[in-house]
Structure 1
Amino acid sequence: MRLFWFTILWALSILSIEAQEDKPKNWTLSGYIKDLVTVNFADDSTLIDNLIHNRLNFDWYPNEQWHFQLEVRNRLFYGDLVKAIPNYGEFVDRNNDYFDLSFYGPKNKSWLFHTMIDRAYVEWYNEKWEVRAGRQRINWGVNLVWNPNDIFNSYSFFDFDYEERPGSDALRIRKYLGFASSIEFAVTANNDFDEMVIAGMYKFNKKGYDFQVFTGKARQDLTAGVGWAGNLGDAGFKGEVSYFKPYTDKDEFSNALLASISVDYSFESSLYLHGSYLYNSDGSDTLVTAIPIFDITQRLTARNLSPLTHSILVQTSYNFHPLVTGGLATIYYPSTQAIFINPTATYSIKPNLDLDVIGQFFFDDYTGKFKAQAKLLYARLKWSF
């Protein structure tokens, strides 16, 4: 049965190409197919893995006030890591959802299939109101990398292959009050009150800056925060601040203040520069694991965007050719002298076909000697339709 559904979904992705030419005006079907090869240079071995990733995005607009969206994510993992980790499927099948709309097939030696509906909602809207119910992404973040305001759907900068980012089973209601001004309320679905996120946000514009303020409950924390986006001259200037205070007697967490700020600038030559800083008052000044950024066992939330107190990012990109773009991102952790280096290169083979080469290297002195604790190379071919 699982193989049957996988075949159907794959066939739909192929047939949708023809549908794009003569499809009804009130619905769209799009998506992509990607093949990602990962080479992990471990201390005494080299691990090679492959991921075939298919996504289907279906949108239906029956009239001017209703919108239905369904998006399905299908992934086939195979290689050395799948073979070496017995419970690999449990690591893959992690999400922020209440309803179980995903499954992973039985691991067969070195491969594993996983499918998930990560968007499924109905939306009603008019000139002043917008109501959305179902699995959706509630994006309250402002900055490009670290988002302390994103209390519903936190995401990791290191998970570059999930462009759509996680969603939640939730209800969101928004009312537009005027130019760049609105009020919003959202609540996630969960049987456990301690795991629910309930919050309201007010957005407004002042002297060319877009501001937002929010307050509510984020799982086991009472939280409040502010964010802004504007310009310093010709440069973009964004920031977010959030405060978390546990309301339970559990000793798992302490009060935490997270603040991020970023500046970015694009030159006429296509050179792009971006700098960002994250402060986490509940972070550590020492490494607790050799590679904290790759800890897939820990659930990522807005209060633990980085395990360390200070994080500094510098990022740049440049179009070397109309078809070739190169970039480099570096994250420095000053309290531990650790550094993450992330070079990227993209070649546009055709308008809907791209080839990416990506590196992720993490250096620290956790073992008493400064060296690379993680060395990964990726090659990704992506065909969009």
Structure 2
Amino acid sequence: MAALVMGLVLGAATSLARAQPLELSGSLKSLFLRSRASTGEDYALSLNRLRVEAKGNLAPGLALDLQYDNELLLGNYLDTGEFRAVKDRAPPQYWRADANYLERGDVYGRHRLHRAALMLTRGDVDLKLGRQRIAWGTGRFWSPLDILNPVSPLPLEREERVGADAALLEAKLGPLSRASLVYAPAPERGSPSRAVQWHGNAAGVDASLVAGRLLGLDIVGVDVASQIGDLGVRAEATRLDPRGGPGFNRWMAGADYAFASGLTLSAELYYNGAGSKNPGGYDFTGLRAGRVTSLGKRYAGLFASYEITPLLKWTTYGVLNADDRSRAVDSRLVWSIGPATDLIFGVQLFTGSTGSEFAASPNAVQVQLQWFFR
């Protein structure tokens, strides 16, 4: 099925592009990671990904965003029980636009459509169909509004966000306002997601209202963002009601400040009404399966970035679970070693008492090399 979907999309893009040339670009990434699996096995993993992107106008009012990934995984991580448990797990999207093509000892090859969407524009109305990023919310660590593409506080590849198979209809209501309607079918005949969003600006304050049903949760939410002098402030709040279960609230409040010296700081507070204050109630199974991103109720996050030189930057993300006092730090050096080429050295450290959220996460060391081409 994945090969069929990929073939149809690529074939359509090729035939349509004969009239309107597409802009081709992409990246080649190699990521080396040393860590420990959830089963207790130390491992090394080399992830190598070629991403080819085709974007542009196929015809007046019709645009394409196509991103194809081909990955090769190497290392003894492929021999761990953790990898065997996750390698064939169904993706969260409606369409199975992925497949593995090689599985031999310490070598595993797979490919997929990372993005595959067509956009039709008529006047002030856009209709986008296919695999896409639904960017609702303003959170850096957590986002109560970003249900379809949830934010994880400490991902290994922070820039990578899973897309949703959806139809997104947007109408511009003015220079800074719009109304949006999203519909996303659920895999395995589950309840589809559908919601509306209104976004506007008044007196220098950006605000959005959201209502609908997303991933089985009835949602009513709001987000605001503004400036107080040189300080950026933002907040989100939602009421979420699963059918057949008790409702709960989530909220996030954040602030950002950039110093003239090149130092940037961001801080966030997060309340997760679906979480547990007691580590005995943590849903570790849901965390490993990707159904939840945070286990506790109260969190704090701090981000710091400093431009050491124009070619060398340091970034650090720190997260505190205020209920069990466990902590996590993700610190990286990003070095631009050449035109469109980045080399990243990073470490993730987790501390906490036995049974706490972050104590269960293994420390990790990583090196990433990424080259962008066009």
For normalisation by structure 1, the TM-score amounts to 0.85
Residue identity matched to 2:98: S
Cα drift, residue 134 of structure 1: 1.2
Cα drift, residue 90 of structure 1: 3.7
1:232 aligns with: 228
Q: Is the 8 A contact 2:171 2:180 kept in 1?
A: yes
2:14 aligns with: none
State percent identity of aligned pairs: 22
Cα drift, residue 68 of structure 1: 1.3
Cα drift, residue 89 of structure 1: 7.2
Residue identity matched to 1:358: G
| Corresponding residue SS for 1:170 | strand
Residue identity matched to 2:95: F
| Corresponding residue SS for 1:296 | helix
Residue identity matched to 1:121: A
Cα-to-partner distance string for 1:84-130 (whole Å, 9 max, x where unaligned): 23753744755331111101235321221121102111111144111
Q: Which residues in structure 2 correspond to 1:310-325 (within 5 Å)?
A: 310-325=298-313
Residue of 187, 206, 213 corresponding to 2:183: 187
Q: Is the 8 A contact 1:293 1:306 kept in 2?
A: no
Structure 1: runs of 5 or more not aligned = 3-22
1:338 aligns with: 326
User: How many residue pairs end up in the alignment?
Assistant: 357
1:267 aligns with: 259
Change (3 A) 1:287 1:53: farther
Structure 2: runs of 5 or more not aligned = 3-17
Q: Aligned partners of 2:285, 2:257: CA distance in 1, in Å?
A: 27
Cα-to-partner distance string for 1:323-377 (whole Å, 9 max, x where unaligned): 1111221101111010001111111101211100111111110169x97852100
Q: Aligned partners of 1:269, 1:321: CA distance in 2, in Å?
A: 11
For normalisation by structure 2, the TM-score amounts to 0.87
Q: Which residues in structure 2 correspond to 1:1-385 (within 5 Å)?
A: 26-40=21-35, 46-85=42-81, 88=84, 90-91=86-87, 94-161=90-157, 163-190=159-186, 194-247=190-243, 249=244, 253-288=245-280, 295-299=287-291, 304-366=292-354, 374-385=362-373
| Corresponding residue SS for 1:346 | strand
Q: Aligned partners of 2:67, 2:372: CA distance in 1, in Å?
A: 15
Indicate the larger mover: 66-75 or 77-86: 77-86
Residue identity matched to 1:175: A
Query: What CA RMSD, in Å, does the superposition of the two structures yield over aligned residues?
Result: 2.9
Q: Is the 8 A contact 2:147 2:215 kept in 1?
A: no
Change (3 A) 1:326 1:211: same
| Corresponding residue SS for 1:357 | strand
Change (3 A) 1:25 1:324: farther
